Structure 1
Amino acid sequence: MSPPGYRSSFAQWETRASVRSRPRRHPTAVLGPDQVFFPPELFPVLSAPALADLDPAARQSILQHALYQYLHFTTVLEQHAVLPVTSAISLGDVGIALPEAMRADAYKITTDEAWHAQFAYDFIAELHAETGVPSSALVRPRFVTDLARLREEVEPSLRRLADLLFTTVSETLVSQLLMDIPRDGRIPDPIREVVADHAMDEGRHQTYFRQFLRELWTQLGTAERRFAGPLIPRLVEIFLAPDLGSVEAILRQAGLAPTVVSTALRETYAAVPEGRLAAEARVTVRLFDEVGALDDHATRAAFTTAGLVPA
């Protein structure tokens, strides 16, 4: 089966990419009535019964640190996982043949992602300067450790493929944060704008990686597909699973007692809501299904066990 011709989504990159067309976003230290730094619904531990008596100042502090961690996650994801892969694609160093136009667009994605990492990092520093609240609760995102552990389990010759798949998963998943924050009137404009800039670029990246996946899967051998297919649900889980370490650090910086923190975490994350993973990963799952990955019985079984497809 030959892959369809590549259709670039970067024809207007010079005028539409945030690094080329959007101004620098600078945070404000002043919140208006009913404004918050981060949507509380997207930091669900705040609804735990153990935190029912949390005072407004502590709540606002927690949400500011949640914003810091979200921006830090962006920086680390781009620098640690995405940029090495897009750079390798642009250089033709991923072990598969790609159309020249696809390699050229990978250069543009590399520029975009480096900018996302920079503006997220800069925004944290500027918000600290504006508010006087340091980003003291930042922790290394959980996915870094989980991904390193997975790579150690993988035969060295297959680690590059695992990296390609993780980046494809992360670039095709639809982030609820990217969709919700720009539309949330409770969030100050500069925060909404910096997330909207990111979301605008990621729309093009998702289109690109849909096509990259078709090229990749077509050129994999049978043994590589049998390795890759069952690995995909693990990569989805690594990306989407709650980062309890970061949540705990954020609650601790608010001065909450360790017993309160542990109770709140247990109340919030003891059970994964049925269907949550499948709902968040539905676009990515559909893409892997479209290229035929789920035709393999072991792969479909792995997706089913992970709750990504119905039994």
Structure 2
Amino acid sequence: MTSASPFPDSRAQRFTLGEWNTRASVRVSEHTYALPADLEHQLQTRYWFPPAFLPYLNHPSIEAAGQSTLHRLSANHLVYFLDYTTLLEHRIVNRAVETIVHGELDLNIPQRMKTAALQLYTDEGFHALFSNSLAEQIARFYGITQRPVMPQRITRLNALLAQTPDRHSALAWFLVGFVSETIIARELLDVCRESLVTSVQEMLRDHLTDEARHSRYFSEVFHYLWLTLTSSQRTFAARLLVDIIQVFFEVDERWLKESLHSAGLSAACIADILGGLTGIQAVVQRARSGAGATLQALRNAGFFDLRSNQLLFTQAGLLDG
């Protein structure tokens, strides 16, 4: 049995993706995302992935190895990111969307919210398609064959979801989607500021255009949902949100070790790089920097009006004391 809408009718009307028919990349983008004919020339001044997002590229051993090694490691990361995105969109985000579309949440679903969820579901399928297409092209270009079947982040999220009691399962799926969509919009915005290979730039910009709307949508739905939750549901949600946010900023150590090894780096160099990226403090630092949109959405929903939630997030290092 679903509860009545917690918002006035005028507020409930906000759950749309706004001119989706004329703005969503799946409907209007003319990009093919094919690698450019002048790729070698572009790589003299452009990157596969922004070096600022891969701080280990500044390691003396990598700098000494030269531009070709930097490009190969960046390409490795991009293929990994695109493979991960394909899985995330299909198996995580769209599963979260299904909880809205099919009434799995204990919530009165306004028709506009359901329609927008179906549109978002379509967007994510297209994102998986163009992510996979570009990943395959880059993998062929470099002969990348060692691609993990399941990135660590997906494995960790699946483990969190598997541990969830059945009564909270739909809520847990929605919360994972909420965190994912509010984080990725910020990530893509920062990535798109860099000078990248044109096909990569086009794909990321199209993705960002969609994800900016998705982030707003998930934030609105979270606010709508938060007002309906019972005390026990709110306690569960708060604890799970801390775990989910931390998972999104962990490093896939196994994959990164293999990527660095494939570039011919020494074991000592690899150990030095991993040592600077792993550990709870490094995770918390990245989360504080990258989860700003998620934390703001929580504030807007009144999540931190509960002192217990402020304390929980402060103890986890996600908020200042």
Normalising by structure 1, report the TM-score: 0.91
Aligned to 2:314: 304
- For 2:309 and 2:269, the matched residues in 1 are separated by 41
**5+ long unaligned stretches in structure 1:** none
**Is 1:133 aligned to 2:140, yes or no?**
no
Q: Is the 8 Å Cα contact of residues 6 and 228 (structure 2) preserved in structure 1?
A: no
2:181, 2:218 within 8 Å by CA — same for their partners in 1? yes
- 2:112 counterpart letter in structure 1: A
Aligned to 1:122: 133
1:173 alignment counterpart = 183
Mapped to 2, the partners of 1:46 and 1:149 lie a distance apart of 31
Change (3 A) 1:297 1:154: farther
Query: Which of residues 251, 273, 298 is equivalent to 1:288?
Result: 298
Write the distance in 1 (CA, Å) between the matches of 2:292 and 2:268.
Answer: 36
Partner of 1:256 in structure 2?
265
Alpha-carbon deviations, 1:263-296, whole Å to 9, x = none?
A: 2211344652875422321221122123222233
Alignment RMSD: 2.2
Cα deviation, residue 165, structure 1: 0.7
3-state SS, counterpart of residue 161 of structure 1: helix
Partner letter of residue 241 of structure 1?
Answer: E
* TM superposition shift of 1:237: 0.8
Correspondence 1:221 to 2:225: no
Residue pairs, 1:206-217, within 5 angstroms: 206-217=215-226
Q: d(CA) in 2 for partners of 1:159 and 1:40?
A: 38
Which residue is 1:89 aligned to? 100
Matched, 1:244 2:253: yes
Alpha carbons 1:35, 1:188 under 8 Å: kept: yes
The answer to whether the Cα contact below 8 Å between 1:8 and 1:208 also exists between their aligned partners in 2 is: yes
Check 1:165–1:275 CA distance in 2 against 1; reply closer, same or farther (3 A cut). same
Counterpart residue number, 2:54: 43
Separation (CA, whole Å) in 2 of partners of 1:114 and 1:174:
16
| Compared CA separation, residues 11 and 56, structure 1 to 2 (3 A) | closer
| 1:182-197 correspondence runs (5 A) | 182-185=192-195, 187-197=196-206
1:15 maps to which residue? 22
Aligned length in residues: 309
What are the ranges of 5 or more consecutive residues in structure 2 without an aligned counterpart? none
Query: In structure 2, do the counterparts of structure 1 residues 138 and 61 end up closer, same or farther at CA, with 3 Å as the change threshold?
Result: farther
CA distance in structure 2 between the partners assigned to 1:200 and 1:47 by the alignment: 30
Alignment map for 1:76-115 (pairs within 5 Å): 76-115=87-126
Do the aligned partners of 1:73 and 1:141 also contact (CA within 8 Å) in 2?
A: yes
Aligned counterparts of 2:136 and 2:185: Cα–Cα separation in 1: 24
